[in-house]
Structure 1
Amino acid sequence: MTVSPQQFYASGSRRLYYRRSGLTTPQAGPLVLIHGLSGSRRWWRFNLPALEAVRGVYVVELVGFGSVRRRQRALGVRDAAALVAEWLGEGGVNLRGVTLIGHSMGGQIALRVAALCPERVSRLVLAASSGLLHRPWWRVAAQLPQAMRHGRLDFVPTILADGARAGLPNLIRSSRDLLRDDVTELLPAIVQPTLVIWGGQDVLLPPALGEATAAGIRHARFVLLPRAGHVLMVDSPSEFNREVLAFLAEPDTMTP
C-alpha cells in the first residue's frame, strides 16, 4: 500500500488539494472522498484503513477548506463540481471507474460531478448529502450546537479547528450557496448505482431527506445508521465502513 504526500491540482488561481493512498488494483476503480462544509481529510480518518485495504483512495480537500492553512475563497457547489470533474479528466489525474463518496456538501458536489462526467464516475455514495434542504442559512447554523450533541464529542475540536481554518466568510458563503442549489431535477438524470446512507440522529439533514434523495435516483438504495448524527462516518465508522464495502462488492447494475 502506498501513501502519497499531499499534492494539488491548479486551475488558474484555484488549488484543489488531494492525497492518494491504498491499493493499486487495475480491476477496481479508485475511490474519491469529498468532505462537507468546514471539513477536511481528517473527517475520513476512521474510514481510510478499511477503504485503503480494498481500493486506491483519493482524499480531496476543496478550495477554501482543508487541513493546511491556505486561505482561499471557497467555490460554490457547481464551480467546485466543475473543478473536481476537470481534475478527474485528462488534464488532471485521468481517473475512470471512480466511486465518489461525498459527505453533506461533498455529496451534493459528487452528484453534480457524476452528472458532468458520467463516463468517469461508476458509483456514488451519498452520506447525509445536502441538496434538498430548503431553509435560511442562519436557521441551519442555529442547529449546529444541537447537531454536535448528537455526534462524537471527541470529534468536536476537529470540527471547530477546520471551521476556523476555512474562516467565517467561506462558511457563510458556502452555506448560502448550497441551500440555493436544489438538486431535485438532477436526481432522475443520475444513472450510477448509488448508496444513500444517513444518520438516524441527524438534526441538520433529517433522514427523510435521505429517503427522498434515494427515491429520486433510479439505481439507489437507502441505509439508515440509527445511532449516528450528521457526521455519520465518524459517529458510526464500523457500520459505515461495512455498508460502503458491501456496496462496492455488489455487481454493476448501471443501465442507460
Structure 2
Amino acid sequence: MRSLQFRSRGASLSYDLTGQGDPIVLVHGLSGSAHWWRRNIPALSAAHRVYVLDLAGYGQAWRQRSLGVREAAALIAAWMDSLDLHRVTLIGHSMGGHISMHVAALRPARVQNLVLACASGLLRASPYRVALNLPRAALTGRLTFVPRILGDAVRSGPRNLWRSAADLLRDSVQDLLPELRARTLVIWGGRDALVPPALGRALAAAIPGARYEEIPRAGHVVMVDAPARFNALVLDFLREEERAAP
C-alpha cells in the first residue's frame, strides 16, 4: 500500500492506495481515520483500485485544521480531477457519507456508484446532544474497536471535532438528494444510536433508485461491526452493475 498526498489551495488530503481495477474511494467519518476501513480493504481491493482517504484534521492529516463538509467535498472533487478518476465508487461513513453526497453532486460524470454507510446528511440535533450520544453509540458497536475510536478522537483534538460536528449539523443534503444520479446503496446498522435507521430509510427514499440495507446487530460503525456482511453487500452491488453492462 502506497501513502500519498494531494494539496490544493492550502488544504491537503492524505491517502493510501492499493489494488487494481476501477476506483473505490473510502471516506471516513467524524473522529475517524483510514484505519476504520482495515476490515474492508482486503475484500474491496481484490478486484478494485482502492483509495483510502484521511481528511484534513484526521488520521495522517491530524495537524491540519478540519474542513467543513462542503470544503472537504470540493477538495476531494479537485483531487479526483487531478487523477482523472472515472467510474468511481464513493463509499462514505457518517460524516464521510455526508461529504460523499456533495462530491457526487459536484462530479456526476466521475462518480458512478455511491455507498452511504450511516451517513449524517439528514441528522438534525445540537452538537451537545450528539456529543451525549457518542458513548452510547460506541457501546452499541464492537467493543474492541473503542480504543481506536478514542485514540483517533484524541489525536484530532476537540477543536477539529467540534468544528466538524457543528458544520455537518448546519448542512443539509435534502435539496440535492433528488438530483443525485449515481447508483446508490444505503447501508445502516440497526443499532445505530448516533444516526437512527429511520434517517437511513428517509435518505434512501429521497435518492432516485437507491437501495436500503440494514444490518440488525451492527451499530454506527457498521463496516467495523459487521465487516463480512458490509463487504458482501458492497461487492454484490458492484457486481450487479457489471452484470447489467452491455
Q: TM-score, normalised by structure 2?
A: 0.97
Question: Greater helix percent: which structure?
Answer: 2
Match in the other structure for 1:42: 35
Aligned-residue sequence identity (percent) comes to 55
Q: 2:221 aligns with which of 226, 231, 248?
A: 231
Secondary structure of the structure 2 residue equivalent to 1:57: strand
> What does residue 84 of structure 1 align with?
76
Aligned to 2:6: 9
Per-residue deviation, residues 129-186 of structure 1 (Å, max 9, x unmatched): 0110111010010011111110111111111111111110010010000001011111
Aligned-residue offset at 1:111 = 0.3
Q: Partner of 2:116: helix, strand, or coil?
A: strand
Q: Distance in 2 between matches of 1:141 and 1:206?
A: 15
| Secondary structure in 2 matching 1:250 | helix
Alignment correspondent of 1:114: 104
Q: Which deviations, in whole Å up to 9, do the C-alpha atoms of 1:2-55 show, x marking residues without a partner?
A: x22x110011321100111012x3xxx210000000110100000011001111
Q: Is the 8 A contact 1:192 1:219 kept in 2?
A: no
Kindly indicate whether the alpha-carbon contact (under 8 Å) linking 2:55 and 2:61 is maintained by their aligned counterparts in 1. Answer: no
Distance 1:102 1:108 in 2: 7
Structure 2 residue corresponding to 1:203, chosen from 193, 196, 200: 193
Q: Retained in 2: the 8 A contact 1:81–1:110?
A: yes
Q: How much has 1:69 moved relative to structure 2?
A: 6.3
Runs (4+) off by over 6 Å? none
Query: What per-residue deviation string (whole Å, max 9, x for no partner) do you get for residues 105-131 of structure 1?
Result: 000000000000111100100000011
Relative to the length of structure 1, the TM-score reads 0.93
Which residue in 1 is equivalent to 2:24?
31
CA distance in 1, matches of 2:207, 2:62: 37
What is the rounded CA distance, in whole Å, between the counterparts of 2:43 and 2:80 in structure 1? 23
Could you tell me whether the CA contact under 8 Å between 2:14 and 2:61 is conserved in 1?
no
